[in-house]
Structure 1
Amino acid sequence: MSTTAIGRSAEYILPLRWTGDSELPDLAAYLELLSGWIPVTVVDGSSPELFERHRAAFPAAVRHLRPEPGGSDGSNARGNGKVAGVMTGVRSSMAELLVIADDDVRYTCESLTAIIAHLESADVVRPQNYFDPLPWHAWWDTSRTLINRAWSADFPGTLAVRRSALLATGGYDPVLFENLELIRTVKAAGGREKILPGLFVARRPPAFRHFLKQRIRQAYDDFAEPRRLATELSLLPVFAAASCLPARYRGPALLGLAAAPVIMAGVGRRRHHGNFFFPLRAVWCAPLWALERAVCIWIALAFRLTGGMPYMGSRLKAAAHPQSELQRRHSGKIAVLRQPNVQTPAHNPRQEQP
């Protein structure tokens, strides 16, 4: 399938900021395949030495850019650098339908075509990620995904968005939970979100050391979802209370606490044919993940109270802004854009490679 088959109205944007190149051969091979289906832009915030190494390894068809500094107003270079990378790609794109993906996401031609097709009737589209391959720590992290699917829906490392809708908002803020911020910003402006828990897109699992580093950061994301945060903050006190019960009650209470996440993970696994992509053993890891989150959410709270979550040499306090706050900022912007006499923001000419 060539890029003309998907159409030049679509583009793939990959923000990148690496400190090492152990995954470069795998990424370069994926980009070789991907660039045969859709125009690809990599916005690379890595060091100059790594940037040049990436340019040499990436296929010639891939557009390779440096990120512009900026948050939603183009002026804030601090915060989550991924947002600056995404917005550089969005502003420089000549396509209306954009697929934004982390460096570990691996689309097939079919899943890429499907998400772009869904974007025809929405402003932002959220698919479902699954790990491939599955080392043991990915089973553990998959249990989090399954509980999310049972609770509501999971947040993947990739989204599709209409360029005009995102530009109408002026962009989104460089908070920690940046994908949720993007979704909320587009929805606050009047955009339509489409959630697709049955559209499965593979992603590579993190290395074990990186997996360990993610534990508290993932917990910190829950400060963007107050009801979930309250539930998770209650886990450790409930577990402690159950552990202090008389012996005749302690066993059944602890068994019940362990069974609850297993049941939830099982429900999430069965939804939308997830059993074809998520192994059963991930369901049995759910109590371990729940115990991990019960501890990590309190550590995350300590970071919150002392200035925010450490990230790339700074500290980010906001996980994501409340929908109500974004509504006050952006309400009606997409509707105004789509009035007959209002022009869609002009496409910027593609930037020259540095």
Structure 2
Amino acid sequence: MTRIDYVLPLRWDDDADLDELTAYLRWLSRRARVIVVDGSDAALFARHARRWRGLVTHVRPARDLRFANGKVTGVTTGLRLARAEHVVIADDDVRYDAASLAAVDRLLCRADLVRPQNHFSPLPWHARWDTARTLLNRALGADYPGTFGIRRPFFERMGGYDGDVLFENLELIRTVRAHGGVEARPPGLYVRRLPPDASRFWSQRVRQAYDDLAQPARLAFSLSVLPAVAACLLRRAYAPLGVGAVLAVGLAEAGRRRAGGRRVFPWDTALFAPVWVLERGVCGWLAVGAALRGGVPYAGRRLRRAANPVRRIRRQGGGSASLGARKPSALWEPSQNGLVDEPPHRHSATVERPRSMRSPS
């Protein structure tokens, strides 16, 4: 594995998980140059500096960045400090192992952006509930992880990405596509993620639903769920509800079985799919209400935009000078398990050339 950089944006209100994260950083620092961009308050920042001295490059977010989404500030600050061509961006709850870290590194030899597949471990009840969303995304295309691999020179040429949106992962994906980048999304490149506690899970429901405002087809489906359920209940037509629940479970199970997913997604996670669909149906309307009130609350302010359309990103140039002529972006899935010695040649892979306004799966 070549030497890679690892950027971890962080903003903590307490240090309950400090020992666990420190142990991970100690392991990780032997395999990558780690840059922690820490937006925690002064007392916590000082404690982190003491604990991580000699393990990581520990810095404050750049003062000249004024993004509404603090994670983008952290990512951009980290990419400024990175030196390796291959960089992993990961949330503070993501836990790579040696194999998955090496796989991302190898895939970046052919792709500008690598999109792994997160899975929760351990799996309390609320993580199983949220895993149903992951399974449905896998069945329909690809999930949105809390980690990416990116080629630093490409990130610099495209001028970064918009930090004033809520769904920063989708914004990064779309910006890479708008600049002609190649995205690899191996469905079997599994990277562990620690689940949030139950209170944080509940606090994220409407905010996650707000992401659908950037994906009109998904939003339309979400908003149709409650009227459809209400109509069935008023007519006492329970059979369609049962059929819908079975279809949701079947679709989630298809996502679970994809690319060896049964080894990381337990069988009962697919059973939560109807619950998640109903949740999204409720929270979709709450998200629309939040949009009408000026946006969804986030870190003490409101964010109105979920993400920018690819066409707008192309028109605005992504915040950088023209990158020159590049081929259209191609999405490819390296293998069924994603853990290959070398990424395949383009002609042997599944290649899709997305349309300018195509919403990602």
Name the TM-score, length of structure 1 as normaliser.
0.89
1:119 maps to what in 2? Answer: 108
2:67–2:73 contact (8 Å) kept in structure 1: no
Q: Deviations over 1:60-95 (max 9, x none)?
A: 12110111145xxx4xx1410010110011011111
Query: Which of 19, 33, 45 is residue 13 of structure 2 equivalent to?
Result: 19
Is 2:7 aligned against 1:7?
no
After TM superposition, give the deviation of residue 226 of structure 1 in Å: 1.1
1:135 maps to what in 2? Answer: 124
2:314 maps to what in 1? Answer: 327
1:289 maps to what in 2? Answer: 276
Q: How does 1:170-249 map to 2 (within 5 A)?
A: 170-174=159-163, 175-245=165-235, 247=236
After TM superposition, give the deviation of residue 172 of structure 1 in Å: 0.7
Query: Which of 158, 162, 176 is residue 169 of structure 1 equivalent to?
Result: 158
Q: How does 1:302-317 map to 2 (within 5 A)?
A: 302-317=289-304
Q: Secondary structure at the match of 2:188?
A: strand
1:342 maps to what in 2? Answer: none
Mean CA deviation greater in 134-143 or 55-64: 55-64
Q: Secondary structure at the match of 1:11?
A: strand
1:253 maps to what in 2? Answer: 240
In structure 2, the CA distance between the partners of 1:138 and 1:59, relative to structure 1 (3 Å rule), is farther
After TM superposition, give the deviation of residue 187 of structure 1 in Å: 1.3
Q: Deviations over 1:116-143 (max 9, x none)?
A: 1001101111010000111111110001
1:45–1:66 contact (8 Å) kept in structure 2: yes
After TM superposition, give the deviation of residue 330 of structure 1 in Å: 2.6
After TM superposition, give the deviation of residue 113 of structure 1 in Å: 0.3
For residues 27 and 312 of structure 1, the distance between their equivalents in structure 2, rounded to whole angstroms, comes to: 22
Query: Which of 26, 46, 54 is residue 40 of structure 2 equivalent to?
Result: 46
The AA in structure 2 aligned to 1:132 is S
Which blocks of at least 5 consecutive residues in structure 1 are unaligned? 1-5, 339-354
1:343 maps to what in 2? Answer: none
Is 2:288 aligned against 1:301?
yes
1:3 maps to what in 2? Answer: none
In structure 2, the CA distance between the partners of 1:274 and 1:50, relative to structure 1 (3 Å rule), is same
For residues 188 and 333 of structure 1, the distance between their equivalents in structure 2, rounded to whole angstroms, comes to: 12
For residues 256 and 53 of structure 2, the distance between their equivalents in structure 1, rounded to whole angstroms, comes to: 37
After TM superposition, give the deviation of residue 335 of structure 1 in Å: 4.3
After TM superposition, give the deviation of residue 257 of structure 1 in Å: 2.0
For residues 91 and 158 of structure 2, the distance between their equivalents in structure 1, rounded to whole angstroms, comes to: 22
For residues 324 and 56 of structure 2, the distance between their equivalents in structure 1, rounded to whole angstroms, comes to: 34
1:341 maps to what in 2? Answer: none
The AA in structure 1 aligned to 2:180 is G
Q: Deviations over 1:203-224 (max 9, x none)?
A: 0000111011011111001111
1:352 maps to what in 2? Answer: none
Mean CA deviation greater in 61-70 or 12-21: 61-70
The AA in structure 2 aligned to 1:66 is R
Q: Secondary structure at the match of 1:183?
A: helix
For residues 91 and 24 of structure 1, the distance between their equivalents in structure 2, rounded to whole angstroms, comes to: 25
The AA in structure 2 aligned to 1:53 is R
The AA in structure 2 aligned to 1:80 is N
2:115–2:148 contact (8 Å) kept in structure 1: yes
Query: Which of 259, 262, 266 is residue 279 of structure 1 equivalent to?
Result: 266
Percent of aligned pairs with the same residue? 50
After TM superposition, give the deviation of residue 153 of structure 1 in Å: 0.8
Q: Deviations over 1:319-341 (max 9, x none)?
A: 11001111222389444599xxx
For residues 276 and 137 of structure 1, the distance between their equivalents in structure 2, rounded to whole angstroms, comes to: 19
Q: Secondary structure at the match of 1:296?
A: helix
1:92 maps to what in 2? Answer: 81
In structure 2, the CA distance between the partners of 1:125 and 1:38, relative to structure 1 (3 Å rule), is same
2:350 maps to what in 1? Answer: none
Q: Secondary structure at the match of 2:160?
A: coil
Name the TM-score, length of structure 2 as normaliser.
0.87
2:139 maps to what in 1? Answer: 150
1:108 maps to what in 2? Answer: 97
Q: Deviations over 1:261-282 (max 9, x none)?
A: 1111111101111111101111
Q: Secondary structure at the match of 1:39?
A: strand
For residues 334 and 115 of structure 1, the distance between their equivalents in structure 2, rounded to whole angstroms, comes to: 25
